[in-house]
Amino acid sequence: MKDTLAEKATHELAFEEFDAAITPKYRSVWLAEMEAWEENTNYVSIPNVLKAKSMAITQAGAQLTLAELESEELHVLIASGIDLEEEQRRLCNIAELMGLHATDTQKGSLMQMWNSLRRRIDMWQCAQVLYLPVIQGLINQTARKDHENAECIKLCDLCLQDNKWELCYAQTHDALEELRQCLHIHYSLLTFKREWMCGQGANTRAQNALTWFH
């Protein structure tokens, strides 16, 4: 009994401190929610105001968020590379249209565009190395000269294109082989059903098996 009275006094003191800390506005809202819950404890739609409310942050959720952010950053990196390739083609066309008899003003404008594009490519390659460290070796192997025009810089090494082609080629063969096996099984089931299946039940099971391979 003494322990119960002591705990009661402790709870009363804690409640008085809490009640004094909150504003009358929040106190009235909480009191209304508390009374509604006490009168309808069996209704799931009415939340328990005494239950601690917290937003759980799980490791899986954090990893998903980071993966989504990284995916968005890679999307921007790839889009920037495509824009740079388009800028290279545009600059190459401008240089060809100027020809050998361009004025000093035209040459100066072209040089400014070269320098601007070169700086953008340098920044893009630095960002590219963060996601693909192996790219640094390819950049070093194809190190450009200082006088190389910006529109001639190779943004994607041909080895990467060849590797992508080999991968797609192998994936195509795998898909065709899987399709061939499914068609072979489907044909075998059709032949077996036609020659050996009798009765509605057996035909229904055979048809379900055929549907699974579609």
How far CA 60 is from CA of 72, 148, 179, in Å, comes to 18, 47, 35
Of the candidates 74, 93, 84, 73, which has an alpha carbon nearest to the alpha carbon of residue 155?
84
Of the candidates 106, 105, 135, which has an alpha carbon nearest to the alpha carbon of residue 121?
135
How far CA 214 is from CA of 143, 187, 194, 201, in Å, comes to 52, 12, 18, 21
Mean local confidence (pLDDT), 53-80: 71
Of the candidates 70, 71, 81, which has an alpha carbon nearest to the alpha carbon of residue 120?
81
- What length does the chain have? 214
**Residues whose CB falls within 8 Å of the CB of residue 23, separated by 6 or more in sequence, listed in order:** none
Query: Are 59 and 67 spatial neighbours (Cβ–Cβ below 8 Å)?
Result: no
pLDDT tens by residue, 6-40: 787 787 787 777 777 778 887 888 788 888 888 88
**Residues whose CB falls within 8 Å of the CB of residue 124, separated by 6 or more in sequence, listed in order:** 77, 80, 81, 84, 155
Binning pLDDT at 50, 70 and 90, where does residue 64 land? confident
Binning pLDDT at 50, 70 and 90, where does residue 148 land? low
Among all chains, which residue has been given the structure tokens 């035909």?
203
What letter represents residue 189's amino acid? L
Kindly list the domain boundaries of the chain, sorted by start residue: 2-39, 66-156, 161-212
To the nearest whole number, what is the mean pLDDT of the chain? 76
- Angle 33-35-38 (CA atoms, 0-180°, nearest 5)? 110
Q: What pLDDT sits at residue 139?
A: 67
How would you class 72 by CB atoms within 10 Å of its CB: exposed for 0-12, middle for 13-18, buried for 19 or more? exposed
- pLDDT at residue 146 greater than cutoff 60: no
Q: What is the pTM of this model?
A: 0.40
Residue 199 Rama label (left phi>0; alpha psi -120 to 50; beta): left
Of the candidates 145, 125, 143, which has an alpha carbon nearest to the alpha carbon of residue 135?
125
How far CA 111 is from CA of 42, 119, 148, in Å, comes to 78, 12, 12
Q: What pLDDT sits at residue 51?
A: 72
Q: What pLDDT sits at residue 2?
A: 67
- pLDDT at residue 117 greater than cutoff 70: yes
Binning pLDDT at 50, 70 and 90, where does residue 164 land? confident
* Most confidently modeled range among 4-8, 48-52, 96-100, 194-198: 96-100
